[in-house]
Structure 1
Amino acid sequence: MNAIDAIATCYRKSFHKRGRASRSEFWWFALYYLILEVAFELLVQHRTPHTPPSLATGLLAVVVALFAVYSFFPFVSAEVRRLHDVDRSGWWLVASMLMAALSEAALGVDVMSALATHRLRQFVRALMHGGHWGLTFALFATVAINITVFIFLVLPGTPSDNRYGPDPLGAGRAKRGDPRFVGGH
């Protein structure tokens, strides 16, 4: 699947959590989404610290931001369908987002508390030297689950029908013995 087809497919299936997405479909859309995010950041950071943004730059930043938010749903849908392609549940994505949110909330509460009591230096020192075990565990768990989900996203899909539906590549998927076969089961 080429980039244009992948982007069109992901938008067309914006709210389809059922089914499967091939690696090319997901990764082309992921690249497109990353480009949107980088474009937004560049537009926001384009101005110098002492000058306000021009009207055109501000409007363009708003349009890119709205488009990035609009594209978030197709991205999540494609990610769930990509997990389905490797015969994994979309709940892996929910677990990764939930763990990240909990870790960020715990870190935010601890940092705000340290700032309020003027003990940020002690907080950072304790964090670096093994204090705050709960927060440290949450951060490591977040990294571990995100690495796991990433590995699932790069694995080749199951080469035949699975519990989530038919193979998105159909007969086009390389099978064992085919020179295009790279790995998998």
Structure 2
Amino acid sequence: MSNKWKLTSYLVFNGKGRMCRRDFIMFNAIFYAIGGVVCAIYLLCLHLIGFFEIDPETNPMTNSQMFALIGLVFIVLLLYLVPFLAMGIFASIRRLHDINLSGWWILLFMLISLISRGFGGTLCTIFLMVKKGSVGENKYGVDPLE
């Protein structure tokens, strides 16, 4: 394995240390851009197999073929979601460390998101984007801006 891959995987799949606002915002921008492309491809695949066709006579695929293809595309979507969800959690934990909070606060953010059907999670993410990190070294590491 190359050193570049080890460094990248350490930075992305690690909850230790701190992450400044700029890096957190850039991570989320890339995260949502890639997610938008993956969802667009998923919807395009559903359209191409005729999933949105209302009239069964114009749909050339049988139900079993259609659901098998939908399942395959869904598995590919999950292969995207699981690692990116883990990366998002680790990035949020490192951002929480930057504002001198424990990474366990992410559980409260997830609970808020579940209760509010996602709206609260968006507010928590915006909070992490705008809250200034603690200046200087804290118990989670050195200031990423120094």
TM interval, shorter chain, is 0.5 to 0.7
Relative distance call for 1:166 and 1:67 in structure 2 (3 A) is: same
CA distance in 2, matches of 1:30, 1:69: 16
- Normalising by structure 1, report the TM-score: 0.53
1:163 to 116, 120, 139: 139
- Normalising by structure 2, report the TM-score: 0.64
Letter in 2 for 1:150: I
1:151 to 127, 130, 134: 127
2:16 equivalent in structure 1: 18
Aligned residues: 125
CA distance in 1, matches of 2:134, 2:141: 10
Report whether the alignment pairs 1:36 with 2:34: yes
1:136 equivalent in structure 2: none
Report whether the alignment pairs 1:85 with 2:83: no
1:67 to 80, 88, 106: 80
Which of 1 and 2 has greater Rg? 1
Letter in 2 for 1:160: G
Relative distance call for 1:169 and 1:39 in structure 2 (3 A) is: same
CA positional deviation for 1:146: 5.8
**Larger deviation, residues 65-74 vs 159-168:** 65-74
CA positional deviation for 1:37: 1.8
> 1:20-46: per-residue Cα shift (whole Å, max 9, x none)?
011222221111111222122212222
Higher RCO, 1 or 2 (CA under 8 Å, sep at least 6)?
2
Letter in 1 for 2:41: L
Query: CA RMSD, aligned part only?
Result: 3.4
> 1:110-158: per-residue Cα shift (whole Å, max 9, x none)?
xxxxxxxxxxxxxxxxxxxxxxxxxxxxx9xx73x86355323322222
Percent identity, aligned pairs only?
Answer: 27
Letter in 2 for 1:34: Y
CA positional deviation for 1:15: 3.6
Could you tell me which runs of 5 or more consecutive residues in structure 1 were left unpaired when the two chains were aligned: 1-7, 105-138, 171-185
Q: SS at the partner of 1:152? A: helix
Relative distance call for 1:27 and 1:146 in structure 2 (3 A) is: closer
1:100 to 89, 100, 113: 113
